[in-house]
Structure 1
């Protein structure tokens, strides 16, 4: 039985990852900003599901989340840095990421959630992971964060934040590998979620299944790699 922490677990891919880990008998620490309002997440309720309040933009919230998890367990086996934002992706979000509408406030908000937050979460939970069984850190990036693949302008902030996440986690991998941890970046694909939209090609269940399978099969030599949810290399 694995002990898994998933950020952004209240919807989309995070919710599906939580569901699938629970279905196979693992214990999940499901983190989101407002657990009280996480109706779909609560509906998965078992004694192996623990809802954790976590706001990636708050260092105090990250510290409190670590304390909350530690009250339940002395070790973690898997951390999935899933939480992220894509301003402008939904019709209810007027924020733009195209040239002519870029602002520093929008940029810093996206970077804080998509790049800095996951790095601080990994840092906060490192000791619990070091005590785990074959511990691994899975950070969900995007093909938009690949410099090689980038062939469009918009979305500027999202793409840049994922490229920054890639560098943070590549650097992290170089250090945590000495503790026996494996840290990889995964492009989950274009998923049919609130962020990806209804025209996306991949059901969330398929991507989640692939990510879980990939996580189970990771080897030490793959530490620091950037791959798709199907395990194919992504160019930096």
Structure 2
């Protein structure tokens, strides 16, 4: 049985990853900013009361990070998998920012939006990894999987939109690749994964990929990682993505 921490687990891909890990018999710590309103997570908890722990976590709040770590430590002495899934996409409902998509184009960009997106999408995963490093080092061949995006690829980026989101994912890639260089000395593996364009609240209904398939691929990829893949940028099918 793996011990898995998933951030942003209340909806979309995070919720699907939670469900699939539970279905195969693992223990999941599902983190979300507002546990009391996470209806689907709480329904899953009724099905798996012994293996699902729902915890509050705001990845930009130091006090919340510490409280979440203590909540996990109250249940287990180690983690085997950390999935950094929490993220926001400005211009979309639920981002916590202005939902007007026009704010994501040149001429309407705002400093405060940029700081919030970078704080959540780039710095957040770094601080989560830092906070839970002790538990990960105590785990069994632990993995840190940080969900990135093809929009974070400097090579592939070709659209004049999503400035903050794209840049935040590129920054996250650098943060977590740097983490990989350090935690590799402890026997841990840190990778970045493009989960694909999925039919979720963030991805929209026009996306081609079902989150069920992406989650299944990410879980398979995580299980099969080797030390030489530490620091890699891969897609959900295990193929390398251009930086």
TM-score relative to the length of structure 2: 0.95
- 1:23 aligns to what? 23
Structure-1 residue corresponding to 2:147:
140
The SS at the match of 1:43 is helix
* Structure 1: unaligned runs, 5 residues or longer: none
2:76 to 66, 73, 76: 73
Separation of aligned partners in 2, 1:40 and 1:146: 32
* Residue 229 of structure 1 pairs with residue 232 of structure 2: no
Is contact 1:89-1:196 (8 Å) kept? no
Deviation per CA, 1:100-143, whole angstroms, max 9, x where unpaired? Answer: 11011000000000000110000000000000011000000000
**1:94 aligns with one of 86, 92, 100:** 100
User: Hey, what's the Cα distance between the residues in 1 that align with 2:211 and 2:28?
Assistant: 18
Q: Which of structure 1's runs of 4+ aligned residues deviate more than 2 A?
A: 89-92
Q: TM-score, normalised by structure 1?
A: 0.98
Whether the 8 Å CA contact 1:32–1:53 is kept in 2: the answer is yes
| Cα pair distance change 1:35/1:212, threshold 3 Å | same
- Give yes or no for contact 1:140–1:185 (8 Å, CA) kept in 2: yes
Match of 1:189 in 2: 196
| Pairs aligned (count) | 236
Query: Which residue of structure 1 aligns with residue 88 of structure 2?
Result: 85
Q: What secondary structure is seen at the aligned counterpart in 1 of 2:173?
A: helix
Gaps of 5+ in 2: none
Partner of 2:10: 10
Distance (whole Å) between structure 1 residues aligned to residue 233 and residue 64 of structure 2: 28
TM-superposed deviation, 1:212: 0.1
Give the aligned partner of residue 111 of structure 1.
118
Contact 1:90 1:197 in 2 (8 A): no
Q: After superposition, what is the alpha-carbon deviation per residue over 1:9-35, rounded to whole angstroms, capped at 9, x for unaligned?
A: 000000000000000000000000010
